[in-house]
Structures are given as C-alpha cells and as structure tokens.
Amino acid sequence: MSINQLILRNLKKNLKNYFLYVFALIFSVALYFAFVTLQFDPAMDEAKGSIKGAAALKAGTVMLVAIVSIFLLYANNIFIKRRGKEIGLFQLIGMTKSKIFRILTIENFILYFGSLIIGIFIGFSASKLLVMILFKVTKVDAVATLHFSEQALTQTLIVFGVIYLLIMLMNYVFIKRQSILALFRVISSTEGKVKKLSAFEIIIGIVGLILIVTGYYISSKLFSGDFTTMIELFLAMAGILASVIIGTYLFYKGSVSFIFHLIRKKKDGYLNINQVLSLSSIMFRMKSNALLLTVITTVSALAIGLLSLAYISYYSAEKTALNYVAADFAFTNPEEAEQFTDKLTKNGIEYREKRMDVVQIEANLKHIMDANMDGLMMDPTKMQLAVVSDQVIKNIDVEPGETVFTGYNDLLQKFMTLKDSGDIELKGQTEVIPLTYLGLNKDFVVSWYFTGGGSPTAIVDQTVFERLRNNLNPEIQRESSQYIGINLKNEAQLEKANTLFTGMTFKNERANDSRLEISNVQKQTMGIALFIVGFLGLTFLITSGCILYFKQMGEGEEEKPNYTILRKLGFTQGDLLKGIRGKQLFSFGIPLVVGLSHSYFAVQSGWFLFGAEVWTPMIIVMLLYTALYSSFGFLSVVYYKKVIKEAL
C-alpha cells in the first residue's frame, strides 16, 4: 500500500469514527468567524449608539478561542492515544518516527483545514442571521446585511493556524517520547481501573458530599444578612467556590463509587446484566476521569448560571420598568407633562392622567428592620422615605395612627428585610409622628425619582399627610413634589407615544420617565450579554458533549471483547442495549445533574441582583441545556449499538 493510499484509508476511517469531532470543529470555526465578522460589520457601526457591543464581542471571541483551543487539544490528545497501536504497527513494519509524523501531519492538515474552509463558509452564510438575532434581542432598529470581512478571514486563519501548530507539536512530542511497547499499552495506562473500593475512597466520597452541601448552605445565606461587610462577603464567595469545586472532584473520585457500592451491597452482589453494564462500569470509570468531569461540571454550571442570570435580567426588563415607573409615562414638571399630553392629543392618542403630591420624610424604622444594618452603612433611625396620602391611592384607607408601605425593591428587601408589623416614627422639621406599621404591599405608586430607586413609599392618612407637609425638612426634599402619571387607554399606541416622549427635551432628564424606554434600555444592555453568553454556552456544551462522547467511544472499543463473550453466552443485543442505556444515563446524566444543581444554588443566591423574575427564565435555560446535552448521550447509545452488533 502506497503512502497516498494509506493516508486516504486513514482519512476515511477518521471521518467515519470521529465525525462528531469534525462537526464540532466546523461549528467552532463557523461561530468564531461569524463573531469576528460582527466586529467589522458596517451594520454594527450604525448600532454603536444603541449598544456598546464592540468590547463585549471582542471579549466573547477571546473566550471562544480559549474554549475551542482547549477542546481541540484535548480531543487530539484522545485521538493520538487511541491510535497508539496503529503507530506502533507502523514502527514494527519499518517506518521511522519522522515518516509516521509526516503521515499524521498530512492527514490532520487535510481534515483540519478542510473543516476550516467549510466552517468559514458556513460562518459567512450565518453571519447575517447572527446580526439579525443580535438586533432582535437588543431592540436595535437597524438593517442586517450579508457582509464578508477580509479582516475576519485573516484573523480566523491565524487563530486556527496557531491551534493547528500546537496540535502538531503535541503529536510530535507524543511520537518521539513513546516506545513501541508503550504505544501498545497507552490506552490501558490512561484508562486506569480500580477493582476494589478502599476505605480512603469511602472517606473522600463522604467528604466530597459534605463539601458540596456546605457550599450550597453558605450560598443560601450569602445575602441573608449573615455577612455584613464586603470582606466577609468576598471570603464567603471564595469559600463557596473552593468548597463546591473540591467537593465535586471528590464526588467523582469517591462519592459515585461509594454510592454505587452501597447499591451493590444492598443487592448482596447479585447484579443482573443491566446493572453490570451500568453500575459496575461507572464505579470504576468515573474516578479515573474525576478531573475532566470536575472541569466539565464546573464550566457547565458556570455557563448555565451566567446564561440564567443574563436571561433573568432580560426577561425581567418589563417588570423592572414597572417597578421604576408606576405609569406608562411619569413626569414631575407640570409644564412638561402638559407639552407631552398636547402631543398625544394632536396624534389621536387617548390617555388617563393621575397627579399626587409626594413629600420626603426622615423615618425611624429601627423597630421593623429585620436585619443587621451595621455593615450596610445605613442608620435605620434616619431612613428617608417618600410619603403620599391614602386619598390618592385606590383600595387603601388607613387610620390617622397607622401606615402601610408599598413598592419595595426586591434587592433592598434581601439586605433590609421589613417585619410584618411594628412601630415607626415619621420626623418633620420640628414634629415627630409615631405610627403603627401594618405591612407591605408590592405595588409601586410613584416613580423611582421619589423613592431613590427602591425604597418603599409610606401611605398615611390625609390628616397625617397635611401635618407632615406643613412641617417639612427642606434639606431632604426633591426638586419637585408632584408626581404626574400618564397611562394610555390603548396599549397598541405605546410605541408611537414613546417616540413622541423620546423626541422631547427636558430640563431634568432624570425626573421624567417612560416605562417602555426603561425596558428597552435594559434589554439593549442585557441583550448583548445574553447573545454572547448564549453562544459561548452553546459552544462549550457541544465541545464538552463531544469529549464525553469520545470517551464513550474509547470505552466501547475496550469493552468490545466483553460484549462478544456476553453474546456467546446467549444475551441478545436488546439485553446489552438496556445496560448500555443505563450506563449512558449515568455517564452523561451525573455531570449534567451535578452541573444543574451547582447552577441552581448559584442563581438562587443572587438572582435578585439581576431582575425581578427568576423561575421561568431559569427553568427555560435549564431545560434547553438538558435537551441539547442529552443528544450526545443518545449518539453514544447509537455508537454502542454499532459496537454490540459487531461483537459477533
């Protein structure tokens, strides 16, 4: 057989066995090229005033290069070791190491740069779609066009050319260092198996579970008031990170084997064929891959967590805007409000207007604060509140000696939790009015201009409100003391009305607000983060899923003689596949479940910093990640089915 025939045969074999690697490489190149193209797209220049995406996209491409580089180098390490016997045979028939390296270099060059060309073509074709998606999620009104960038092409070729050189260097070092005997033993030496569960493994397994649970517990207390200074908060976060990562490693190193050992012991060692193929295999395989699985689980948790938080902020944009602005449009200047309503009338837009007086009062909330305020640099006896009369609030009527709070920011509630009832004092310039606090309502009744962005508004009886208004402390009053809320009768005209609002010039831009505009700004800000994190997460999901798939391919080849024996003993293909499905469920399911668990507790500990809605966006992200991740488990079952079929 000539060298050319040998290369063609090996290429055909590699494409057949490692098609998923080729797919991942093509996908990575396509995504990278499309990302870089965005940076040089003229359409993005038109949107620079709306989104600050250039720096974010550059950071995304750097992260993408890091993920792809690690994946390609690791995958190549797996492949070169899998071909150890083949390389050893080449040496036995008289080939020199240099000639073998040249053959592998030509094979990799054709496979790698063939995938690179296909990936660039797909990336170019998909670049317009990416721009359209980006403009959609960021609410940018711009036209996406298909644009080819020579700078993006050059940058892509340089980056992936460097990765190719690193791969060739890795192959060269591997071939030079290995003896013929070592090449025939390389697979078995890299896939260590432990035949017996030791006491030490039981101990580290228990410690791993304890560390993970400890990290979860501390994360649940992170913003509950137990950590009142930034140093304490930082140390707690570092402790959580270390505890969970170390615990995850020990979990794979000992906990999985320990748990499965207990299951085997409960069955007195009598396992059916399904349990032998699933439990027993996982017990001895997972500990040898503990470091790899820890990395995959940690980065998966990070990807799911960041994507969840970005989507929480994006998903909560409308709810956050509702908290900031209690009407479709809010004004504090009567003249400017009148100018806006005149514009609405001229454009045939019907509206409802509501006005209320708002005063700023210093309050003593010491007896209803259910949190330690020492580390927050706030004095609960001197809290500033917006106060309104119950006459302007529907369905609320309080007695002269009572008050109800309404509209409290979720973030502030975590740090400054209010009790259900208690006594407070409202302080005027010379008079202090004691009141009984009756509780907290969720509705926001004035704009953030009066509440400072999240403090509650106190609702008092009209007589109390008059006493306070006649005894104001001028040092803490806002420029305006009147809230003017304008709601449209037809929500379909909101976009048109918002265009009229944004076209106006105000004396104080921060004193007037549009709920829709605040929502759009938040979506623009978080949309770029959601876009980048989403595609980076997808890239990592595909690369990590491929790595686990490659590991299963290697294990399948190693276990092929076992399947031959089982088939000869009378077990059918269906019997073996049941056990294989169980094995894949554990192999892919355990890292997935642990990663989802890590991300859940991470999101729960601080989601309120990002938005007002948590469950819907978090569940959507987790379900999508699970569905995509599970596809690699399905592909592994398909591959094992082929191995079992070839066992006889």
The predicted structure's pLDDT at residue 189: 46
The predicted structure's pLDDT at residue 138: 79
Q: Find the distance separating the first CA and the last CA of the chain, reported in whole Å.
A: 29
Q: Which of 2-11, 408-417, 577-586 has the highest mean pLDDT?
A: 577-586
- pLDDT band per the 50, 70, 90 thresholds, residue 200: confident
- pLDDT band per the 50, 70, 90 thresholds, residue 207: very high
Rounded Cα distance between 18 and 550, Å, is 8
Per the CB < 8 A criterion, the answer to whether 618 and 603 are in contact is yes
CA-to-CA dists, residue 99 to 4, 90, 176, angstroms: 13, 9, 12
Q: DSSP code of 417?
A: P
Per the CB < 8 A criterion, the answer to whether 596 and 622 are in contact is yes
Q: What is the DSSP string of 522-577?
A: HHHHHHHHHHHHHHHHHHHHHHHHHHHHHHHHHHHHHTHHHHHHHHHTT--HHHHH
φ, ψ at 307 (rounded to 5°): -65, -40
The structure's pTM equals 0.85
The predicted structure's pLDDT at residue 329: 97
* In the predicted structure, residue 11 carries a pLDDT above the cut 70: no
The predicted structure's pLDDT at residue 7: 65
- pLDDT band per the 50, 70, 90 thresholds, residue 558: confident
Neighbours of 31 (CB within 10 A): 25
Question: Is pLDDT larger for residue 363 or for residue 227?
Answer: 363
- pLDDT band per the 50, 70, 90 thresholds, residue 37: confident
Mean pLDDT along residues 328-333: 96
47-74 pLDDT, tens digit per residue, is 544 455 566 777 788 888 888 898 888 8
The predicted structure's pLDDT at residue 14: 62
Question: Is pLDDT larger for residue 287 or for residue 345?
Answer: 345
Mean pLDDT, rounded, of the chain: 85
Q: Which residues touch 194 (CB under 8 Å, ≥6 apart)?
A: 201, 257, 284, 287, 288
Q: Which residues sit opposite 359 in a β-bridge? A: 387
Pairing status of strand 513-514 against strand 351-357: unpaired
The predicted structure's pLDDT at residue 192: 44
The helix (H) or strand (E) run that includes residue 437 is strand 432-441
Q: Is the dihedral of CA 559, 565, 568, 571 positive or negative?
A: negative
Mean pLDDT along residues 19-23: 78
Q: What is the DSSP string of 596-638?
A: HHHHHHHHHHHGGGT-S--HHHHHHHHHHHHHHHHHHHHHHHH
Q: Which of 89-103, 191-205, 236-250 has the highest mean pLDDT?
A: 236-250
The predicted structure's pLDDT at residue 194: 44
Per the CB < 8 A criterion, the answer to whether 204 and 198 are in contact is no
Least confident of 285-294, 588-597, 616-625: 285-294
The predicted structure's pLDDT at residue 330: 96
* In the predicted structure, residue 375 carries a pLDDT above the cut 60: no
Q: What angle do CA 71, 237, 317 make, to 5 degrees?
A: 80
Neighbours of 318 (CB within 10 A): 17
Mean pLDDT along residues 247-254: 93
